[in-house]
Chains A and B, each alone.
Chain A
Amino acid sequence: MTSALQHPHPTTALRLGSLRKGATAEIVGLDDSAVASALQPGELERRLIEMGLVEGAHVEVLHEGFPKRDPIAVRVNDHTVALRRAEADAVLVLVLTTERRPR
């Protein structure tokens, strides 16, 4: 499942679940092996892909829930997906900016 980690500098990849509001990033891989879930192995990965969270997609953390800033609302290319930080940890990203760019 880490096969998709094609980025030349995998050490800089972070987990989407660790990003704060305003951060933008590019997805570089999916790895659900470390996520505790009630799902079959590989199922979370497939669901993420079906929701557009796939390698190459641009993401931006738009909103954080309450309490503990969980879940998060993430813009994925053209649409917005809500997910919990626990599952967002299965998404490996390369951070582009950590703050909101001036509009």
Chain B
Amino acid sequence: MAADDEAPRVALVGNPNSGKTAVFNAITGSRQKVANYAGVTVEKKEGVFVSPAGTRVRVIDLPGTYSLRARSPDEAVTRDVVLGRMDGEEVPDAIVFVADATNLRLNLRLALELKSLGRPIILALNMMDAAEKQGLDIDAAELSAELGMAVVTTVAVRKGGVESLLDQIDRTIQVAETEGWSHVPHQCGWSEPGSRELRDYTREVERILARAVRSPAKPHLATRRLDTVLLHPVAGLAILFAILFLMFQAVFTWAELPMELIDTGLAALSAWLTGAMPDGPLRSLLVDGVIAGVGSVVIFLPQILVLFFFIQLLEDSGYMARAAFLLDKLMGGVGLHGRAFIPLLSSFACAVPGIMAARTIENRADRIATIMIAPLMTCSARLPVYTLIIAAFVPDRAVLGGWVGLQGLVMFALYAAGILSGLLVAFVIKHSVLKGVREPLLMQLPAYRLPRPRNVALGLYDRGKAFLLRAGTTIFALMVLVWFLGSFPAPPPEATEPAIRYSVAGAIGHALEPLLAPIGFNWQIALALVPGMAAREVAVGVLGTIYALSEAGDALQGSLAAVLAQSWSLPTALSLLAWYVFAPQCLATLGVVRRELNSRFWPLVMFVFLTALAYGAAFATFRVASALVGS
């Protein structure tokens, strides 16, 4: 990669919603990588393109910000990269400032602040199509002269003006090189502007606009009309909840068919392997370990994609900020910030991107409170456990006069239990350890824009890739490990019980059993919870593996659900459901908390309080259910 490190680097900077992601997608295409989950542009996104002059140029997309005075951790990334203060990051050779042409006042203020750094900078005047529709007439040459920087007009979503932008990047880099700017490992001099300097910038912007704008943009009327309904105190909230309901409905119904296809495909694959390979440890490893285990995780890809599809649409259309507006006061009741909505919503897919999305919350106490309750939002990894147990133990019949299915109702209750306990925990911590006034809500409500299929597709692609990578690496390794633990040592010849009983896994399960017996868990569950720490959904895979290994051949006739229905009592099943509402056992979540808060203390707190809640809830459920059922 040496050649790549030498390549000039360009950084994209701009206000949130100015179209940075669209510009990034337009110039890099799919030649981009995200260091981790593609959050709400809070990730370090890097791409490459070959310029018209034949130079390989690296582009980084930095988190959107209104100011270099970073208020939140993701804005700090932007500041540090731009100023060359980021460890392991060279100062960029040029800055491309992406500005929303319909909203120049706000955008140009930051452009002036960046220009004062004295680095090579290009202004990409984006959303020119929308600006023209709103009647904006702007003299780009005059603007360029007044600002003292190159100006290129673009319509990023249609790749309009991208060629000229690339040409300009070429020129700017060349000039920078001849002037000896590039690869200078120095830091920029910059000090936080005070309110006087900020007012000066504002006045300067007004002066420039007076000269460069021939006719100003009229307000976006469609946005105003839509907001009359969508931000209406009653109708707006009703619509928000309807959207959320639709979203969860879609997660289950749209994903059903692809999930069945994956299931059928995997079953066919393991049947083929069973036929094609001689019986032995290798076949067992592939069929019982890899396919059964990894397959039980990969099957959730459709659900995760559907959920992220909705999140991406809400994000791109500009609705997310409205949701935060609508919920700010309500969430304020338990001490949460309106912005906590986005991380918490993402957490229904997976707590990891959810916790990362909390970077947009500026205040540390608000952020910690949000992060602490993120794992209480039922992530899709818990779905397999819910689905399995509900299918096994909850009769499929209609209740409430035939309108609602009992199984669906139980599922809903589990989600609700998670949300309610999350709000309760937030209330408790915001009124005890993390007391204090909430961070101000100062948030732009961007104009509504029609989401572009291409951008949505690229976003989904990133997320799907991250998920499969995880399934292919972490989860794969764990499943192989579990299979080994469950297969060795082999049972003695005079064995009377299933083979797994004699294995290492069996020993671990038995060792944990006394601890978990009070809440009704047997050794199989105890064993499944251990690798479940790495990824919750693995627990189902492990149960699948355990019961596949412990039943002799034909005995494993029915599905796993049928097997469980026979071997577990109802109180045990309900207790496991209650445990999973809190499910503290996810190393990835604890790891990301540690990284995001840069603290060992908070992940520990999270683990302890979630475990305590899970144990308490499971204990209560088990006792009450046992008393009622009388088992």
Residues of A within 8 A of B (CB): 1, 4, 30, 36-39, 42, 44-52, 54-56, 62-71, 73, 75, 77-84, 86-87
Contacts and interface: CB of A to CB of B under 8 A. Distances in A.
Contacts of A56: 206
A77 B104 CA distance: 10
Contacts of A86: 440
B41 interface: no
Given A4-B199, A79-B103, A83-B440, 12 more contacts: A38-B438, A38-B439, A42-B194, A47-B440, A47-B442, A55-B199, A69-B233, A71-B328, A73-B325, A75-B219, A78-B102, A82-B441
B522 interface: no
B105 interface: yes
Contacts of B223: 80
The 6 A-B pairs of least Cβ separation, nearest first, read A66-B233, A63-B231, A80-B445, A49-B198, A87-B440, A82-B325
Nearest to A54: B202
Contact of B202 (A1, A36, A45, A49): A49
6 contacts: A42-B195, A50-B69, A52-B106, A63-B325, A79-B444, A82-B445
State which size class the interface on B falls in: 35 or more
Interface string B95-132: 00000001111100100000000000000000000000
A65 B325 contact: yes
A83 B216 contact: no
Contacts of A55: 199
A102 B436 CA distance: 43
A87 B223 CA distance: 25
B224 A62 contact: yes
Contacts, number: 130
B440 A50 contact: no
Contact of A78 (B67, B103, B231, B237): B103
B400 interface: no
B340 to A, nearest CB: 14
Interface string B63-106: 00011010100000000000000000000000000000011111
Most buried by A among B109, B231, B237, B338: B231
Contacts of B433: none
Nearest to A79: B103
Contacts of B206: 56
Interface string B538-560: 00000000000000000000000
Interface string B324-338: 111011100000001
A65 to B, nearest CB: 5
A77 B173 CA distance: 36
